[in-house]
Every structure is written in C-alpha cells, then in structure tokens.
Amino acid sequence: MELMLCNHSSYPRIGDDPDRQLLRRTIAQYDKGEKTEEAVRAAQDRMTELALAEQTEAGLDLVTDGQIRWADPISHLAGKLSGVRVNGLLRFFDTNFYFRQPVVQGRPERREPLLLEEFRFAQEKSARPVKAVLTGPYTLARYSVDENGGSGGFDEMLEGYTAALAAEIAALAAGGAAVIQIEEPALLSYIDDFPRFERCLTALAMNKDSSQLALAVYFGDPAAVYDQLQTLPVDILGLDFTYSPGLVDRVASSGTARTLMLGLVDGRNTRLEDPAATARQLEKLARGAGLNRAYLSPSCGLEYLPRDRARQKLRQLAVIRNTFLGSLS
C-alpha cells in the first residue's frame, strides 16, 4: 500500500518562543492602534511560512497553510459573505475553542474570493503540494443563526452557503489546488439529515474540475454513516478514528471506494501514539479493506495542541509509516 502523510487542516499559530508569538504580539499591538493591517498580514505570512516549514521538516507529502489567518473555522468564511454578519462567541463542538457565530440576514453571497489568495501564498512558499481547506456549507449553516425572515429557513441558508463555496472551489481549482478538502464535522451530529447533506456535496463536486475533492468528517463516530459516505462524489474521505474503537474493524470489513485519509493520530490529546500499535491498525486496514493508497493524518486540525506537541504528532506520522512499512517487509 502506498501510504502518504498529510496534515489535516489547522496548525498552531503560536509557540513558546518569541519568534512564534509574532502574530499574537502584532494583533495585540494592532488592537491598540500601534500596528497597521499590513503589519498583521506580514506576521500572518511569516507564521504561515513557519507552519509550512515545520510540516515539510516532519516529512509530510501534503501540507496545508495551517489556517494561520483564520479567526475561527466558521466566521473566517461566513464573515466574508454578504448577507451575513458575525455575532457573539459559541463553543466549537466539544473543544475549548470558541468561534464567532454568523447571523444570516439575507442570502449568503460570495462577492470576492474567500481563500484563493491565502492558497496562492502558501503554494508559492511551500516545497510540498498544499491542500486547500474549506469549512463546508452544512457545518456553516448548522452553526449560523437564521434572521433572514424568509420562508426558506435553514434550506435557504444552506443553499446560499453551498453556492458561495461552490464558486470558491471553482476558483481554487482554477488556481491550481490539487486537493481541496471540505470539512464537515457537523454531519456526524445530524446523520439523519444525510440526503440534504448529499445534495450540498454533489453541488460542490460539480465545480472541482481536475482537483481532487476530499471530505473530512471528525469530532464524532462516522461508523453509522460510513456506507453512505462511500456514495458521495468525492475522491478522498477523511475519518476521525479517535471517537470509535470499532471503526478500524468497520472500515476493514466494509472496504472503500474512495482514497481514505486515516485520522489515526489523535489531534486532540498530547499522548503520543504507540507506533507499533498504530502500524497494526494500518495493517488491518490495508489487508481488510484492500487499500492500495491512503493518507495517514491527524484526526482533526492540530490547533488544539501546543505547538511542540503538534510538531511531535506530525513527526510521529513518519515514525508510524516507517514502522508500518517495516512490518510489511
């Protein structure tokens, strides 16, 4: 089996040394009127370059920009759309991270590119291919407040977000993104709503052109919806294995029609995975599901970990791969 290593999505934008606290410092100074927007952008550029370098140094085959510029996974996208204003704080799933909640007051519409410039910057600075990552329309809609007053309610909001993100996917594909990842953690809290979700994904997939489209679900157990996920028009399916001790067996026995992104390394806890134990899980998956090609990744974005531990987790991916390949030879 060809096993590639990739980052999931986010990466810490702070560290313990002063160089890696540049962005925090600059934003704090900007808030006091002591720095300009250009200075904040320069700090974001610098931290993005550091995130890319650390992923490359860890030996990843596919990296991300670390979402360094994102205030949070929801408002960074929704807040750029017309018809949407950003409101107070709300907890992001079961993490201790908080996002600004969008309030939809009209149809969400994309007036300008959302992530294209960020992607271009990262690709230009990276020695490895960069995966573009977007929070999906279903998760955006589930975390938004509908104040539109129209009769369409949630569906109208969802349709607006889907159209906006479909346009962004077209732009990213035209901009050279080899892999575009849609993050949809909210699906696992609403698995009965799969038909509606499927319609969104189908609309997004129509715009992917020659890019590979990845869907990442996490912060929950995907076992109950695994067969349905296999029917979606995506090329890569990312799964979080940390919520479900039985998921390895489930995937091994069911197989896959998609390339899998195996989130076997816990992106939420500092405890490092035992390479031998994780390699055994990989063997089971490779043999049982008949995998020819897969990605090994953290279970979710790494921003929930301190930077030193996030870096260790990435390095551990390579250790696990070596152990796995060693066990095959």
Partner 1 sequence: MSRAKLQGLGIDLPLFPVTSVGSFPKPDFLLKARAEYANNRIRRGALEKAERQATEFWIRKQEELGVDVLVDGEMYRGDMVAYFAENLEGFEEGGLVRSYGNRYYQKPIISDEIHWDEPITLEWWKYARGITKKPLKGMLTGPYTIMDWSFIEYYPDRRTACLALAKELRNEVEALVEEGAKIIQIDEPAISVRPEELPVAIEAMHIMTDGLPAYFISHICYGDFEKIYPGLLDLPVDNFDLEMSNSGLDMLELFKRSSYTKDISFGVVDSHSHEIENDRIVEQRLRQALEVIPKEAIWVDPDCGLKTRTVDEAIAKMQAVVNAARVLRKNSDE
CB of 7 to partner 1, least distance (A): 17
Please report the DSSP string for 58-125 in residue order.
TT-SBB--BTTT-S-TTHHHHTTSEEEEEEEEEE-TTSS-EEEEEEEEEEEE--S-SSHHHHHHHHHH
| 271 touches partner 1 by CB under 8 A | yes
CB of 270 to partner 1, least distance (A): 4
Report the 10 Å Cβ neighbour count for 111: 10
CB of 231 to partner 1, least distance (A): 29
Could you report how far apart the first and last alpha carbons of the chain are, in Å? 12
CB of 110 to partner 1, least distance (A): 24
Closest CA to 76 of 45, 118, 46: 118
Cβ closest to partner 1, residue 16 vs residue 37: 16
Cβ closest to partner 1, residue 234 vs residue 263: 263
CB of 28 to partner 1, least distance (A): 6
Tell me which stretch binds partner 1 (CB under 8 A): 175-183, 201-209, 263-271, 281-289: 263-271
| In contact, 26 and 318? CB cutoff 8 Å | no
Q: Residues 81 to 100: which contact partner 1 by CB under 8 A?
A: 88-91, 94, 96-100
Cβ closest to partner 1, residue 89 vs residue 325: 89
Q: Tell me the C-alpha distance between 265 and 198, whole Å.
A: 27
Q: Which of 2, 24, 202, 287 binds partner 1 (CB under 8 A)?
A: 24
SS3 217: strand
Count of residues touching partner 1 (by CB under 8 A): 32
Closest CA to 2 of 286, 300, 329: 286
Q: Which of 3, 15, 133, 232 binds partner 1 (CB under 8 A)?
A: 15
Cβ closest to partner 1, residue 71 vs residue 206: 71
Q: Residues 212 to 251: which contact partner 1 by CB under 8 A?
A: none
Q: Tell me the C-alpha distance between 241 and 73, whole Å.
A: 21
Rg (CA), the chain: 19
Closest CA to 104 of 35, 36, 157: 157
Cβ closest to partner 1, residue 230 vs residue 312: 312
CB of 30 to partner 1, least distance (A): 9
| 18 touches partner 1 by CB under 8 A | no
| 46 touches partner 1 by CB under 8 A | no
Q: Tell me the C-alpha distance between 300 and 93, whole Å.
A: 12
CB of 320 to partner 1, least distance (A): 19
Closest CA to 167 of 115, 237, 96: 115
Cβ closest to partner 1, residue 16 vs residue 19: 16
SS3 180: strand
Q: Site mask, partner 1, residues 277-316, x = CB under 8 A?
A: --------------------------xxxxxxx-------
Closest CA to 125 of 51, 20, 70, 175: 51
Tell me which stretch binds partner 1 (CB under 8 A): 6-14, 235-243, 246-254, 281-289: 6-14
Please report the DSSP string for 245-283 in residue order.
TTHHHHHHHH--SSEEEEEEE-SS--SPPPHHHHHHHHH
Residues of the shown chain interacting with partner 1 in the complex, contacts defined by CB under 8 A = 12-16, 23-24, 27-28, 31, 71-72, 88-91, 94, 96-100, 269-271, 303-309
